[in-house]
Structures are given as structure tokens and as C-alpha cells.
Structure 1
Amino acid sequence: MAIHLYKTSTPSTRNGAIDSQVKSNPRNNLIHGQRRCSKGRNARGIITAGHRGGGHKRLYRKIDFRRNDKDISGRIVTIEYDPNRNAHICLIHYGDGEKRYILHPRGAIIGDTIVSGTEVPISMGNALPLKSTSTDMPLGTAIHNIEITLGKGGQLARAAGAVAKLIAKEGKSATLRLPSGEVRLISKNCLATVGQVGNVGVNQKSLGRAGSKRWLGKRPVVRGVVMNPVDHPHGGGEGRAPIGRKKPTTPWGYPALGRRSRKRKKYSDSFILRRRK
């Protein structure tokens, strides 16, 4: 992904850096409207996720995470921008006339051919089970869009630049190293797409101004120590005061900054061999 640096002709473009423009011209039968976000509020109107609200209207693109069009080859026609995710998406024209969106694999270009199934070659963009009858995925293969439950569609490694590695196979399970560093067991029958998700340099972008952040639906972040006591446990005091506690807390009084929030005795604990970093 090419990074375009702005000239410092105005204060708002100073230090700005964006990726090369990828046009968005979605097909009408693959998009639909969506309800405006709840701005971080629950059904009672209470803020449960801060710094959210506003933002530009978006149309949702229907992404094919299941890749269940078996043994029908498709051709990449366009590479488009998706406002609902950091990764770019590809429009695929299949041989039977169907058209679908998928996540853009890194290195894929317009005109490339992809296919999904159990007897497909291990090449970039192809979707196949972690263990098939004839095409055995070798250890060390880079994969993304990985299923957790067979037939439900890919749920792991879907963000821009995300990639997981197949590190072992034993019995009915395969061992994967996920982008978070977690080592997890997945059924060998689950589908995964070969390669890495595209738009790898998304973290190199610099919006350059606050307005660009607001277009994304992200509001300013305010420190709790400068609030009033009624708004945050860190608030209050005369002048510039410390938080007044041994350890920092969330606005609701729970321990913050490093406290593990995962449920104990969760059903998936038996599948996780090493927790994420």
C-alpha cells in the first residue's frame, strides 16, 4: 500500500499521511443500509463505550466470509474501499454468474483467479479446509479469515494486515498462532483463506487533523483526572491533583490498565494453549 504524504500548505494537512486512494463504487445488490450507531449507549441511554458518536453515514457491504461456493473459480474484478473496516475488499465474478465481495488478500491484483473447496491448490486467496483429502496444507502456511465453527464463516484474522500461522496438526485439531500471539486449537475441517489480509500499512496513516477523526465516528478522549468527582473516580481535588487511589480505575470503579477481563471457566479455555500477549 502506497502512503501519500501531504504538503504542509495548511495547518490541517501538516504531518498528514493517507494511503493511496482506492475508489468505492459498490454494487447495489451487495450493499444495504444500516441503523445509525448507538453512539456507545445501551438501551437505557447510558454510556457503555466512550468516545463514540457522529461520523459519516455508511452503507454496509455484504462480505462473503463463508466462501461456500465450492469448486467454482472466480476472477477479481475490482479492489474497493470499505468504510466499515480497515481492510480493502474485492469484487469477485464467479463462473456461474454470481458476484460476491471478499476480503482483499495481500498481493492480489485485478484479474487474478481464486477458488474455494477441498481439492484446490494452496495459493493466495484460495479457501480450503486446514486438512483435506488430497491437498494437505503444510505447516507454516500463512492464513486468514479462519472459521471457529464449521460452516459459520471466518471469524479470526480478518483485520487489515492480519495473518495467522498453522504450526501443528494432531488428531482432529490443528494448532494456530493468531495475530494476538494466542495459540489455539481449531478443527481441521474448518475453512481458512491462504495469505495475509491486505492494506498492511494502515497503521502508518496519520489523519493530520481532528475533523478526520470525527468523520470516523470517534469523539475526543478526556482524562478522568480532569473531571469532576461525580463523573469519574479520578476526578476532583484542588488544582492539579493525583487520582487519589492506589491504582487507576475505570469510570465505574473497576480496576483498569492491565486487569484481565476474560471470564473464568469459559467454554473455550480448553482450546487455548497459550493466552494472548
Structure 2
Amino acid sequence: MPKHLYKTATLSTRRGAIDSQVKSNTRNNLIYGQHRCGKGRNVRGIITVRHRGGGHKRLYRKIDFRRNEKDIYGRIVTIEYDPNRNAYICLIHYGNGEKRYILHPRGARIGDTIISGTEVPIKMGNALPLTHMPLGTAIHNIEITLGRGGQLARAAGTVAKLIAKEGKSATLKLPSGEVRLISQNCSATVGQVGNTGAKHKNLGRAGSKCWLGKRPVVRGGAMNPVDHPHGGGAGKTPIGKKKPATPWGYPALGKRSRKRNKYSENSILRRRTK
């Protein structure tokens, strides 16, 4: 997708770039307001999730993760920015008059056509069950439970790979490196999610991060002993413990927090890599 570079007028625009085809669309029936509890506080006003708060107001875009319009061709009308995710979204006009938002597949352009169904071609942006996909297909927006809609590989630049089929299950390699089993009846979208350079974006200044609703983070070693187990001492002293700890004394930085007897444990063939 063509890039438009900013002229360096301020520090916040230095090394900045935007995609020239991406734009903000006027409000339609798929865009509406929602109540956000983004301050990280409970009903008593106590902070329960740190480093959250502030941020700009956002309107929610209803995304079609299920791709329910079966065997009906749709045309990409716009490629838009979505403030609720780091991936771009596409507005699709279907042949029956329906309008839906989907995640923008990498390489898709305005005017391209897509379709979802069972017997559809293996083409970027098309959605179909894993049963009808050949091995080695790059996919995203993958269902875990049939009919619930895509739940895996939805962030910008993510892509999974279909590596094996056996019985009623398909083996996928996820973006995290995890290898797991999923029913072949579950559907997925062909291709990679667009905006692959999202993780390399330069925010430019601290205020840009505040607009995203992210509060500043302070090192535990810079706090007092009453506030953090790493606190105390003069200057950058060691933490004084064998292993790093959270503010509440639990192990941190590398300690696995996944439940041992989780329902999906039998579906995971190989855990994700660090």
C-alpha cells in the first residue's frame, strides 16, 4: 500500500508515515457509540488495572468476524482506520445490499471482490472452512468454536499457517509459535492481516501514548519499599530479591500464569515460544 511521509514540522511528526488509501469514513449504521470503562478502576474507584486511563473518545465499528454472507460476492469500497484496533478495516458492499466491515487483508485494494462459503477459491480475503484449504495456506481470523466467529490471528500483521490435517482436526501454527488443534469445520480467512508495520510505528512523544489510553509506567526500583518489593535504596540499586516480583509479591517476568487444567490444554501440541 502506498505510503505518505510527513514533513518534519514538529518532533511528533518526525519519521511519521500514513497509508495514502486509508481514511476515516462518515458515520453509518455500523458505527455507534459505546460505554467505555477505560480508567482501570472498579465501582469503588480503586485502581484494579494499572497504567490505564484517559485516552480519546472512540466510536465502535461493528466488525463481521463470522462472515455470514455465504456465497455472495462483496466489493471493497473503502479502507478505513479503526481506533479500537491496530489493524485497518474494509467496508464491504455485498450483492444483496448488505454492508459489513471486515479486517483488511494485506494487499487488498479498493475495488477488489471477496466471497465467503464452502466451495470458494483460495484467494486473499475469502473465508471458507479449513476442510477445503490446502496445506500451507496462510490464514487469519480463525474460529475456535464453530459459528462463534474468528478469534485467533486478528491483530495487525498476524498470520497463521495450516500445517496438517488428521481426522476431524486441523493443526495450525499460530503467530505466537504455538501449535494447536482446531476442528476442520471452523472457518478462517485466507491471507495475512494488513498494516504489517503497526509495531514499528513511531509515536513521537508521550502525549501520543496518552491518547491511546495508556498511562505512564514507573519502575519498581524507583518506588518506596511500601509501594513495591523492589523499592528502596539510593539510586539504581539491585532489587534485593532472587527473582523479580509484582507490586503484590507474586513472581514476575517469565513466570507462566496459564491455568494447568484449562479446557483447551489437550488441543495444544506445542506451547508458544518466548
For normalisation by structure 1, the TM-score amounts to 0.93
Asked if the contact 1:248–1:256 (Cα under 8 Å) also holds between the matched residues in 2, the reply is yes
Q: Aligned residue for 1:252?
A: 248
Calculate percent identity across the aligned residue pairs.
Answer: 82
Contact 2:92 2:100 in 1 (8 A): yes
1:102 alignment partner, SS class: strand
Report the AA paired with residue 221 of structure 1: V
Residue 20 (structure 1) shift: 2.4
Q: Distance in 1 between matches of 2:137 and 2:196?
A: 18
What is the CA distance between 1:130 and its match in structure 2? 0.5
SS of aligned partner of 1:28: coil
Q: How far did 1:207 drift?
A: 1.1
User: Do the aligned partners of residues 227 and 5 (structure 1) sit closer, same or farther apart at CA in structure 2, a change above 3 Å counting?
Assistant: farther
Unaligned runs of 5+ in 2: none
Query: Residue 8 of structure 1: CA displacement?
Result: 4.4
Contact 1:13 1:209 in 2 (8 A): no
Residue 9 (structure 1) shift? 4.1
Quote the RMSD (CA, aligned, Å). Answer: 1.6
Q: Which moved more, 1:208-217 or 1:92-101?
A: 208-217
d(CA) in 2 for partners of 1:92, 1:242: 55
The answer to whether structure 1 residue 274 and structure 2 residue 274 are counterparts is no
How big is the shift at 1:2? 4.8
Give the equivalent residue in structure 1 for 2:232.
236
- Any conservation in 1 of the 2:38–2:54 contact (CA below 8 Å)? no
Matches within 5 A, 1:68-87: 68-87=68-87
**Which of 29-38 and 243-252 deviates more?**
29-38
Given that residues 17 and 204 in structure 1 are in contact (C-alpha distance below 8 angstroms), is that contact kept between their aligned partners in structure 2?
Answer: no
> Aligned residues, how many?
272
- 2:122 maps to 1:122: yes
Aligned match of 2:210 in 211, 214, 234?
214
Question: Corresponding residue for 2:18?
Answer: 19
What CA deviation, in whole Å up to 9, does each residue of 1:140-192 have, x standing for no partner?
A: 00000000000000000000011000000000000000000000100000010
Does 2:102 match 1:106? no
Q: Which residue does the alignment assign to 2:197?
A: 201
Kept after mapping to 2: 8 A contact 1:72/1:94: yes
Match of 1:189 among 185, 201, 206: 185
User: SS at the partner of 1:185?
Assistant: strand
SS of the equivalent of 1:155 reads strand
Aligned-partner residue type, residue 184 of structure 2: K
CA distance 1:93–1:27, change in 2 (3 Å): farther
Deviations, residues 8-31 of structure 1 (Å, cap 9, x unaligned) = 4434444x4233252111442001
Q: Distance in 2 between matches of 1:43 and 1:30?
A: 30
The CA deviation at 1:205 is 1.1
Partners of 1:12 and 1:94 lie apart in 2 by 40
Where does the alignment leave 5 or more consecutive residues of structure 1 unmatched? none
Pair 1:165–1:216, CA change in 2 (3 A): same
TM-score (norm 2): 0.94
Q: 1:50 matched to which residue of 2?
A: 50
- 1:112 deviates by 0.8
SS at match of 2:29: helix
Check conservation: 1:174, 1:186, Cα contact below 8 A: yes
Following superposition, the deviation at residue 4 of structure 1 comes to: 4.8
Residues 113-162 of structure 1: per-residue CA shift (max 9 Å, x gap): 1111111111110100001xxxx311000000000000000000000011
